[in-house]
Amino acid sequence: MTDYYETLGVQRDASPEQIKKAYRKLARELHPDVAGAAGEEKFKDVARAYEVLSNREKREQYDHGVDPTAPGGGAGGGFGQGFGFQDIFETFFGGGQASGPVPRARRGQDALVRMDIDLVEATFGAKRELQVDTAVVCGTCGGNGCRPGTDVRTCDVCHGRGNVQRVARSFLGQVMTTAPCAACQGFGTVIPEPCAECSGDGRVRSRRSLTVNVPAGVDTGTRIKLTSQGEVGPGGGPAGDLYVEIREKAHDVFVRRGDDLHCTLPVPMTAAALGTVLELDTLDGVEEIDLRPGTQPGQILTLKGLGVGHLHGNGRGDLNIHVEVQVPTELDEEQTTLLHQLAGLRGEERPEPRLVAAHPGVFSRLKDKLSGR
């Protein structure tokens, strides 16, 4: 008994979809119109295998050792229930149902533009004017593509159907198929006198101005969607959407990490030791910083709620001020004498060297230094 599974090149537990896919592939390769007379016998074998394996009852009989296509096997030769005209037709002609004319007005494409903003705009949000070059409805023809005073005309070839029928020869004989009408491109109508402004497309390119509401909290890569502000479609069809991609420019002082801001505050050694009140320019204006006595290098002073606004939700991030204690490198004679006196009073003229474990923050600062942050 012929091994139909081997003929189609599938496993015995193959699904109906796998069997159908394998058959279609082989049928296209072995069809006499493609492979010539040499492939005719193999094509018949493939068709017979599909006839059996595509029918549940026949496949069960075959799996139990009975070939339903053999004389007396239950169903005579030829095409059975599982192997019908529809399968053959779809295999070679991709179906034949007429779908009707294609509408001229179609949705336009989405568009993407990029917009640079600064940190202040990202923190508080802003309204920006944006100039974009997109396709807009042709003002001369109103989108129908026809010269003013004229209109579309029903296609003389397909008579408005948008497709034409043709007869194709196959191993089944003559088969009627449908294809898009070449005269009207499937629209069912033709434009006898195209608009001189848009050449019949119904749209032209133009620069226009848009107002973009930039919400607080946007960051580089954030996309703002402007519905129906993209390209107008052919034939004056509805516009697609416009996406505005944000690029945030670097700030001279503040570095953004998420919704938090970071900056470095250099302070004299004496101010760190004695403590003082400093005024700092922030994005919200001047803020007083209380530098407590004994402030250490690398200490972080946090101002709550002075960071970037949250994109999703209320509130803002924090402003983190990293203290950098400056040690003087040039001292005059009087300053040197005073420092020696201070060192003597504190017993630090000859301090004993003592190594301690490095704080994790040291490695973080080293990593930032190496990465250029």
146 is in an annotated binding site: no
The CB-based long-range contact list for 58-62 (8 Å cut-off, 24+ gap) reads 58/82, 62/4
138 is in an annotated binding site: yes
**99's tokens:** 């779908």
DSSP code for 101: P
* Residue whose tokens read 């001369």: 140
184 is in an annotated binding site: yes
19 contact partners, CB below 8 Å, separation of at least 6: 8, 10, 50, 53, 54
52 contact partners, CB below 8 Å, separation of at least 6: 4, 58, 59, 62, 67, 68, 69, 80, 82
Q: What angle do CA 131, 135, 139 make, to 5 degrees?
A: 105
**CA 348, CA 340: separation in Å to the nearest integer?**
9
**19's tokens:** 């069997």
196 torsion bin: left (phi>0), alpha (psi -120 to 50), beta (else): alpha
Asked if 122 contacts 261 with a C-beta cutoff of 8 angstroms, the reply is no
198 is in an annotated binding site: yes
17 contact partners, CB below 8 Å, separation of at least 6: none
195 is in an annotated binding site: yes
Q: What angle do CA 54, 60, 65 make, to 5 degrees?
A: 115
**CA 20, CA 61: separation in Å to the nearest integer?**
19
Nearest 10 degrees: Cα torsion 97, 102, 106, 111: 60
Backbone angles phi, psi at 59, to 5 degrees: -65, -40
**CA 206, CA 362: separation in Å to the nearest integer?**
56
Polymer length of the chain: 373
263 is in an annotated binding site: no
Secondary structure of residue 263 in the 3-state scheme:
strand
**140's tokens:** 């001369």
State the binding site for Zn(2+): 138, 141, 155, 158, 181, 184, 195, 198
State the binding site: 138, 141, 155, 158, 181, 184, 195, 198
